[in-house]
Amino acid sequence: MGNELDVKTIETWLWEAACKIRGEIDAPKYKDYILPLLFLKRLFDVFEDKIIKLSEDYGGRGVVEELLKGDHSLVRFYMPEKARWNSITMQTTGVGEYLTDAVRTISRENPKIQGVVDIVDFNETAAGQRIISDDKLRTLTDVLGRYRLGLRDVEPDIIGRAYEYLLRKFAEGSGQSAGEFYTPREVAVLMSYILDPEPDKEIYDPCCGSGGLLIKCYLRFREKYDEYPSIAPLRFYWQEILPATFEMAKMNAFIHDIEAEIALGDTMMRSAFLNPGGSLRDFDIVTANPMWNQKSFAQDMYGNDPYNRFNSGYPPSSSADWGWIQHMFTSLKDGGKMAVVLDTGAVSRGSGNVGRNRECDIRKEFVEDDLVEAVILMPENLFYNTTEHGIILVINKDKREKEEMLLINASGLFAKGRPKNYLPDESIKQISEIYLNWNEVEGISKIVTREEVAKNNYNLSPSRYVTQDGEDDTLPLEDAVVLLNEAEEARRLADGELDGILEKMGLAV
């Protein structure tokens, strides 16, 4: 990809930009001004790259500029002179008004990003005072203009990484966890190799965040098929619940020239992608990193589901992990494959219980129906919303090896980073090759049978079958909390049933 900016440089740069407007606005609102400008700079640099390429083909920049005035179709998106970065940086007065007009001009020229980049008023006032002064805006544009952000200059999800960094930096004011909208780059790359998209496939993410998982699938597709775009393209479908991250996903799709249907809304309560009869639309590939152990869904949501998604059982109120899995599975075509990122408890909770456990019962059904293909245990301190391990669960309706599952313990295949660990490129390659070649590697992976998993009460945690030196089997605190909440819920249900029986017997207190 050329000389990409490294993560540390990007984060230092963004922090400097935030400090330039520090004191004039609340910290959590920094992103509301920095991200649109970052997007604007990205658009300009990508547009410039295209102008340079066209200039080589048409015999000079002047010729290209004249052609573009009459035919914008020569470029994927058109940057009016007023909105180009070199024009912006020349402004010495009325900067806020100029920036607001610039982003609105871009929006008018490019309807696909209407409602995304043009929603910020850089000239906004509160109580008669400018929220951010022209001097601060000039300084901010000077800082953001320091680096090129063309396709060969930065990693694809630059907007997502910037958003993740800014929210993480000011998490105390944002009320969100970065892990809810941003999947670490290397995890997304690994999942793209596992899903291995082929031409003319439809790919769906029901909680897309900034869109990183789908973008990595797209880039893997481009890498694999050199003859693109002459072959049938991928088709993308995204849904996101948070307006700010929905806007960011639209930015990412636009920048990467991805034709995507992107919907705003709560997938679990009201899916945006339906067949004419009201059933869930299905896709060839489904991928997601939903909020882990989500507690916002009541039991009656599962029981009154209009899409018939939860036939394998209702997850406990303490964790919607297997609710998301069942939604994704219902959205999967026959012969399709899905990969989902969750915490480790999703594949192990309840396996040691005496008696019934909802998550274990649902997991059992997926195993017995021979749908689970692989589970990959990630290293600790990799994800932004926790220091604990995560897992990638792969479910396949057309498994290569019937009645077998591949469990990969990749918990040791990391490099130390600050503030988080990361998977080096060689680890991504090693893990993906183990999966794609269906290999057993001593101390890393093991092929297990359905019978073996049944003997372990449907515990699918790779660490149960592939141990590594110094591995800690202590139950993570968040999993212990989920189990405690589930036990409390079971107690309440039992108390309710007992009260009903006593009332019928005339013994109610």
* % pLDDT > 70, the chain: 85
User: Residue 179's pLDDT is what?
Assistant: 47
pLDDT value, residue 320: 94
- Which residue has better confidence, 98 or 298? 98
**Residue 175 — pLDDT band, cuts 50, 70, 90?**
very low
Q: What is the pLDDT of residue 368?
A: 97
pLDDT at 176: 45
Question: Quick one: average pLDDT of 362-386?
Answer: 92
Report yes or no: 89 and 145 within 8 Å, Cβ to Cβ: yes
Q: Looking at per-residue confidence, does 166 or 360 come out higher?
A: 360
Peptide bond into 290 cis (omega under 30): no
316: left (phi over 0), alpha (psi -120 to 50) or beta: beta
Q: Which domains are seen in the chain, by residue range?
A: 7-154 (1.20.1260.30), 178-478 (3.40.50.150)
Distance CA 265, CA 243 (A): 8
Question: In a 3-state reduction of DSSP, which class is residue 337?
Answer: strand
Residue scoring higher pLDDT (182 or 268): 268
Task: Say how many CA atoms lie within 13 Å of 58 toward its Cβ.
Answer: 16
Q: What is the pLDDT of residue 386?
A: 75
Contacts with 271 (C-beta within 8 Å, 6 or more apart), sequence order: 206, 239, 280, 307, 327, 331
The candidate with the shortest Cα–Cα distance to 212, out of 241, 233, 238, is 238
State the pLDDT confidence band at 178, using cuts at 50, 70 and 90.
very low
Tell me: the pLDDT tens digits for 45-85?
999 999 999 999 998 999 999 999 888 889 988 999 999 99
pLDDT, position 115: 79
* Interatomic CA distance for residues 207 and 187, integer angstroms: 16
Asked which of 110-119, 306-315, 335-344, 364-373 is least confident by mean pLDDT, the reply is 110-119
The verdict on whether omega for the bond into residue 315 sits within 30 degrees of 0, i.e. cis, is: no
Span 222-241, average pLDDT: 86
* DSSP per position, 238-274: EEES-HHHHHHHHHHHHHTT--EEEEES-TTTS-S-B
Contact (Cβ atoms closer than 8 angstroms) between residue 139 and residue 146? no
Q: What is the pLDDT of residue 233?
A: 87
What pLDDT sits at residue 482?
52
| Closest listed residue to residue 318, CA positions, set 96, 486, 160, 509 | 486
Query: Residue 392's closest CA among 452, 344, 440?
Result: 344
